[in-house]
């Protein structure tokens, strides 16, 4: 295992040096050139490994095949990770550092700037005592989300190549851009990928196995006020900002992200913009339960109607959109792929932790595109943050989970 550990670690430390932040304002695919640079690097690496059907398309989606090494006809399984890092924190000039045999306690990331990964703020770091953990210098994110997943998939393929005694069917891998801005699946070529099912390797803590995510929608209230001189405003002015405040006051504050957990849904106030004459209020709506989600969407319609009844017809216009759905609908008929992942984790010494995703995932969109696609742990902690870190030992277990899944398909 030391050979595969070093192989994996060498690649991960190289991968995080690529600046691959995605950009929500861009209209091209991928949204940043850095993602293409990284994809081209991986393309050459996969070809050098001797993989087949290596294809990098003009949108930055990279596909490759590890051929079957047994005669038995088996389902084709895929593994997917994303190229981009979050625009929430700089991913330029990442300087990773390995803290070997972490002894516990605070970790000084940057002494000069007094940036410290404090146990008081992030107590989970002490769950990794004795591990080798990779941190940053505090000026950037690390990029374990999802370059840990990329490195783990590549290392798992290399392990299978080095161990031909492990029999497996055809394995497909794919690396896609723009996941962090919700577009990762938009140009994914599911027919070309040609898998019976796949797994995204994009989860966090050891053992995470996710096949449920939020149903998701958005609501944009556009408010048209009437602005007149405040000295002569009585009976004339309609302050759009006060209407905006009324909308916010109407939506239950107890059903916000900061007050909910687990399977509880929420209304998340994203922004309030504008002035007296015109304003906008933006929400996202989330719930795992489809029926409750639809009630939440209906509530936003009722809120707009209530405001128009109170302030006058045409005061508030509502743009309501459904964004994505809970992948459980697509995975549940094929629960053997979840049992396969659980067994693979246990063989790697990992206790499966089945939990809902309190967010979205490429796997959700891919599942509704005909590719059932649960999510596996990759090991990163504190995603999108200067305090992001990952355990090398957890990454090793992710590699062996992938290997065990590939090998376990033949038993289905």
> Does 316 share its domain with 381?
no
> Does 294 share its domain with 146?
no
Q: What CATH number is associated with residue 332?
A: 3.40.630.10
- Whole-number Å distance between alpha carbons of 66 and 318: 49
> Does 202 share its domain with 239?
no
> Does 226 share its domain with 200?
no
84 catalytic residue (yes or no): yes
> Does 331 share its domain with 318?
no
Domain closes at, from 324, 350, 382: 324
> Does 400 share its domain with 318?
no
> Does 257 share its domain with 373?
no
Structural domain boundaries enclosing 267? 215-324
Q: What CATH number is associated with residue 287?
A: 3.30.70.360
Q: What's CA 319's distance to the chain center, in Å?
A: 26
pLDDT for 4 beyond 90 = no
Query: Which H helix or E strand runs over 338?
Result: helix 336-347
Would you state the structure tokens that stand for residue 96, as one six-digit string? 């990773």
pLDDT for 389 beyond 90 = yes
pLDDT for 83 beyond 70 = yes
Q: What share of the chain is helix, strand, coil (3-state, %, to 5)?
A: 35, 25, 40
Average pLDDT value for residue range 30-41 = 98
The fraction of the chain above a pLDDT of 90, given in percent, is 94
Confidence (pLDDT) at 1: 58
Q: What's CA 200's distance to the chain center, in Å?
A: 9
The count of domains in the chain is 2
| Cβ atoms within 10 Å, residue 234 | 8
Average pLDDT value for residue range 16-37 = 96
Average pLDDT along the chain: 96
> Does 310 share its domain with 344?
no
Residue 294: pLDDT band with limits 50, 70, 90: very high
pLDDT digits (tens, 9 = 90+) for 162-186: 999 999 999 999 999 999 998 999 9
Domain closes at, from 282, 301, 324: 324
> Does 21 share its domain with 69?
yes
> Does 102 share its domain with 179?
yes
pLDDT digits (tens, 9 = 90+) for 126-142: 999 999 999 999 999 99
Residue identified by tokens 């690649």 is 11
Confidence (pLDDT) at 371: 97
Would you state the structure tokens that stand for residue 348, as one six-digit string? 């790697």
> Does 307 share its domain with 349?
no
Domain closes at, from 324, 351, 374: 324
| Cβ atoms within 10 Å, residue 340 | 20
> Does 283 share its domain with 143?
no
- Which residue among the candidates 19, 43, 84, 196 is catalytic per the annotation? 84
pLDDT for 360 beyond 90 = no
Give the largest CA-CA distance in the chain.
86
pLDDT digits (tens, 9 = 90+) for 306-347: 999 999 999 999 999 998 899 999 999 999 999 999 999 999
Report which DSSP code applies to 327.
Answer: T
- Which residue among the candidates 132, 179, 196, 208 is catalytic per the annotation? 179
- Whole-number Å distance between alpha carbons of 140 and 385: 7
Residue 53: pLDDT band with limits 50, 70, 90: very high
- Contact of 268 with 256, CB cutoff 8 Å: yes
pLDDT digits (tens, 9 = 90+) for 242-268: 999 999 999 999 999 999 999 999 999
pLDDT digits (tens, 9 = 90+) for 184-243: 999 999 999 999 999 999 999 999 999 999 999 999 999 999 999 999 999 999 999 999
């Amino acid at each position: 295992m030391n050979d595969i550990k070093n192989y994996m670690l060498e690649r991960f430390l190289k991968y995080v040096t690529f600046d691959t932040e995605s950009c929500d304002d861009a209209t091209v695919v991928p949204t940043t050139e850095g993602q293409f640079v990284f994809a081209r690097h991986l393309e050459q690496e996969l070809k050098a490994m001797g993989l087949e059907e290596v294809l990098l398309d003009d949108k930055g989606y990279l596909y490759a095949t590890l051929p079957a090494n047994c005669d038995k006809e088996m389902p084709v399984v895929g593994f997917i990770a994303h190229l981009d890092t979050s625009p929430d924190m700089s991913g330029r000039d990442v300087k990773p550092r390995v803290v070997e045999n972490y002894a516990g306690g605070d970790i000084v990331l940057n002494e000069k700037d007094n940036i410290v990964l404090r146990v008081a703020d992030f107590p989970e770091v002490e769950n990794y005592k004795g591990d080798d953990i990779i941190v940053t210098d505090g000026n950037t994110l690390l990029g374990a989300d999802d370059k840990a997943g990329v490195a783990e998939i590549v290392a798992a393929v290399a392990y299978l190549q080095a161990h031909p005694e492990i029999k497996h069917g055809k394995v497909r891998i794919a690396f896609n851009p723009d996941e962090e801005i919700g577009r990762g699946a938009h140009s994914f070529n599911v027919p070309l990928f040609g898998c019976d099912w796949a797994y995204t390797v994009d989860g966090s803590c050891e053992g995470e196995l996710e096949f449920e995510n939020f149903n998701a929608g958005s609501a944009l209230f556009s408010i048209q006020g009437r602005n007149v001189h405040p000295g002569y405003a009585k009976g004339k002015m309609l302050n759009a900002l006060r209407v905006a405040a009324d909308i916010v006051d109407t939506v239950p504050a107890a059903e916000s992200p900061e007050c909910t957990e687990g399977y509880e849904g929420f209304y998340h106030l994203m922004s309030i913009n504008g002035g007296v004459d015109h304003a906008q209020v933006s929400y996202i709506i989330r719930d795992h339960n489809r029926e409750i989600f639809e009630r939440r969407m209906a509530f936003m319609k009722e809120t707009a109607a209530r405001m128009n009844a109170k302030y006058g017809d045409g005061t508030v216009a509502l743009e309501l959109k459904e964004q994505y759905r809970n992948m459980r609908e697509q995975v549940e008929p094929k629960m053997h792929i979840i049992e396969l992942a659980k067994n693979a984790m246990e063989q790697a010494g990992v206790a499966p932790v089945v939990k809902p995703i309190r967010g979205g995932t490429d796997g959700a969109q891919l599942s509704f595109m005909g590719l059932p696609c649960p999510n596996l742990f990759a090991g990163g902690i504190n995603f999108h943050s200067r305090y992001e870190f990952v355990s090398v030992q957890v990454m090793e277990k992710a590699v062996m989970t992938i290997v065990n899944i590939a090998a376990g398909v033949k038993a289905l």
